[in-house]
Chains A and B, each alone.
Chain A
Amino acid sequence: MSIELGHFALVLAFALALVQMSVPIIGAQLRNETLMRVAEPAAITSFMLVALSFMALTSAYIQSDFSVLNVWENSHSAKPMLFKITGTWGNHEGSMLLWVLILVFFGALVAFFGRNLPLSLRANVLGVQGAISCAFIIFILATSNPFARLDPAPIEGRDLNPILQDIGLAIHPPLLYLGYVGFSIAFSFAIAALIEGRLDAAWARWVRPWTLAAWTFLTGGIAMGSYWAYYELGWGGFWFWDPVENASLLPWLGGTALLHSALVMEKRSALKIWTVLLAILTFSLSLLGTFLVRSGVLTSVHAFATDPARGVFILGILVLFIGGSLALFAWRAATLTSGGLFQPVSREGALVLNNLILTTATATVLIGTLYPLLVEAVTGDKISVGAPFFNLTFGPLILPLLAIVPFGPLLAWKRGDLWAVSQRLIWAFGGALAVALLALVLVDRTSVLAALGIGLGAWLVLGAMTDLVIKSGLGKVAPSVAFSRFKGLPRSVFGTALAHAGLGLTTIGIVAVTTLETERIVAMEPGEVVEIHGYNLRFDSFRPFTGPNYTEDQARFVLTRVTGRQLGEIVSSKRFYTARQMPTTEAGIRTLGVSQLYVSLGDQTPNGKIVVRIWWKPMVTLIWLGALVMMIGGTVSLLDRRLRIGAPMPRKKAALAQGGQA
């Protein structure tokens, strides 16, 4: 496929976005049905055009067409096919195109599933979506064109950054963008509600599943990014409080708050104005994240080649959308009426507390991330705000939230009984205490902090289980009745329990690995043995090996228990990517239960030995397994039939066909 076709399709999509952002909104103001109906075909056609444009770029990557500048800069003919395809978004231009593709994909989904939304609401929502795609398509066309040609065409490309040549690139950015961009739907609904000055039942029923879907994807995207950095960079860290990581955490925290406040709005029609504000803020944080990552104002592995013009452009988009939406909010919010009174101690009260803590924690992360930029702009001093800042602020603020999570789902709406709920949680509390004591006695007698942290995680898991037990009436009614009640529980109850239990697992993983990890750094030569945490690691051999587009020195280690049981090999290597002349470290990782042994190679010492760094990472996989459980919780909750009653879900087959095209 000709790359020019892709370029042309994107220009056409821009023109269409101009129509989509103006005609339906004007139509809604004039109450002209014909004009409002323009939104739907415009959104679907936009998606097809951007998809065509994206396919054109992908096919240039697959064919290694080095006459395209972007392909030449980021690909190589000897690269494995998977990395040729994923390389499409392994660079600034291509990843922005993926961003826009996902944006118009969501727009098309709204157009498709939203057939029985009120006509004017649908027109306004799609109009706002059109405005966002318009801004980002012009950004690509003006400053980040992936379709530029190169003449004469070089014979060979410059290859993709070796760190990105990994299966992680196939999963992490698409999931992350599905999350980031998915919040645009909540944003568009919020703006549409402000334009119309009306919030009804359809609004809340619509916003929550979209937010939930975006949140689920974002959870997966962040967890995948964390695991990728963990195994690929060879430092063995799972979170660095790097500004770019924070940029993805911020919308996640905002989205989590939104999810909970939308719940109050849907069930009790309270917190309306707050929910609208959170919807705006969450997508604003997504935009801010895009700006921080794409403008190159921050030093990071994610900052591809930087160009000041791009930074200024995205800053413009940011100011326009955030400023505009907040101004609209200030002007129109008063027209939205609120309802649903409740006592401080109630489900609503718990959810408000959740929102208070989450938004405060979001604010501290935001301040820590932006403070260096602010200080540099004002005084010119270059400072860095690192992990100690976030551990000192985010940590103490989020801990109380974790402690009260199990109470929330057990409290009644409107007026709850804290004492009764505490009694119901007594078994979970006892269990958590037992886990903490066991951790203290069996794992490490010196670390009280570790024991408390692990106990906190267990409290979350057991609390989530208690919720299911209480709601099915187990122990109070006959087991068969309890079982049928259990089966009959709404899916969203399971979703909540799974998400909260997943949070508990992640907490256990983080606490265990930060407090109980052991590390050995030794210079070794073949034949030597190192002992770590009851395992013997024998350095077996050190040999060269040639891959498709790299050469490497492979160190093979034989792992045995101290008792002598054989556990197989661990291979760790130093790789050298020939096209980019760039070395990387490939860690050797062995999963033992939920813990991992992590082996990474350093340099050679003057006497010919190899520096080897070995970590025992206790329960580290729980960090990502917990995220996976949270994702499952989100998905289960999305399948709740209550979300479909009254909310439109027409023509399932057609929907599947649409998903297949994406």
Chain B
Amino acid sequence: MTRKQKRLAVIAGAIGFLGLATGLTLYALGEQTSYFYMPGDLEERPVAAGQRIRLGGLVEKGSIQRGDDTYVRFAVTDGTESVAVQYSGILPDLFREEQGVVTEGAFDQNRNFVADTVLAKHDENYMPREVADSLKEKGVWKED
């Protein structure tokens, strides 16, 4: 190969690699991001069964039911609407009634929300930011 051809081959290789990276990134951004919903948003923007979302709000008072072993049911509320959530696993240390929580998972065919991840705040000053913002918008935010 001449020098020019070599240079072209190198440039083509680099562009190919960058193209691959761009393609992967765009594909992954389309497939692997999950939207944040509060219970009240579900009517306006319905979510299909099986689609991964993050559902956030407060843990409804009196809704926590523990089953055998690690199975837990609780309801996530935004003050007006609430959604029942099923979860199997260990809950975060700061999971409590009437505290902010973000769950990640999907609705099953019977419209039960099955979460595989439950996040609570890290300390008493901190509420998941999406939850805090949305509660402020809805006017049910209480400063403590």
Q: State the A residues within 8 Å of B (CB).
A: 161-163, 234, 298-299, 301, 303, 305, 343-344, 356-357, 360-361, 363-364, 367-368, 371-372, 381-386, 388-389, 392-393, 396-397, 521-523, 574, 580-585, 600, 602-603, 605-606, 611, 613
Contact = CB atoms under 8 A, between A and B. Distances in A.
A523 B70 contact: yes
B122 A301 contact: yes
Chain A contact residues, majority secondary structure:
mixed
A397 B23 CA distance: 12
B17 A357 contact: yes
Contacts of A360: 17-18, 21
Interface of B: 6, 9-10, 14, 17-18, 20-21, 24-25, 27-29, 31-36, 54, 66, 68-70, 88-91, 93-94, 122-126, 128-130, 133-134
A321 to B, nearest CB: 26
A312 B134 CA distance: 22
The listed residue with most B CB atoms (<10 A of its CB), out of A382, A605, A611, is A382
Contact of B17 (A163, A356, A367, A382): A356
Contact of A161 (B24, B70, B90, B123): B123
A574 B92 CA distance: 12
A234 B21 CA distance: 34
Contacts of B29: 367-368, 371, 385, 389
A521 B32 contact: no
B6 A299 contact: no
B18 to A, nearest CB: 6
Contact of B25 (A367, A383, A582, A583): A367
Nearest to A387: B32
A393 B24 contact: yes
A364 B36 contact: no
A523 B33 CA distance: 34
Contacts of A603: 66, 90-91
Nearest to A611: B70
A356 B11 CA distance: 11
Given A600-B90, A602-B91, 12 more contacts: A305-B125, A361-B21, A364-B25, A382-B130, A385-B33, A386-B34, A389-B28, A392-B31, A397-B24, A603-B66, A603-B90, A613-B89
Nearest to B134: A382
Contact of B94 (A363, A582, A602): A582
Contact of B6 (A305, A344, A381, A522): A344
B128 A299 contact: yes
Given A299-B129, A357-B17, A582-B94, A384 B33 contact: yes
Given A344-B6, A603-B90, A383 B14 contact: no
Contact of A606 (B66, B93, B124, B126): B66
A582 B28 contact: no
Contacts of B133: 382
Contacts of A386: 32, 34
A234 B70 CA distance: 16
A356 B14 contact: yes
The 10 closest A-B pairs by CB, nearest first: A382-B36, A602-B90, A388-B32, A389-B32, A392-B28, A299-B129, A583-B93, A523-B69, A389-B28, A360-B21
B124 A580 contact: yes
Contact of A523 (B9, B24, B25, B68): B68
19 contacts: A163-B122, A163-B123, A234-B90, A234-B93, A344-B9, A344-B10, A381-B36, A382-B36, A383-B34, A384-B33, A384-B54, A386-B32, A386-B34, A392-B32, A521-B89, A574-B93, A583-B94, A602-B70, A602-B91
B28 to A, nearest CB: 4
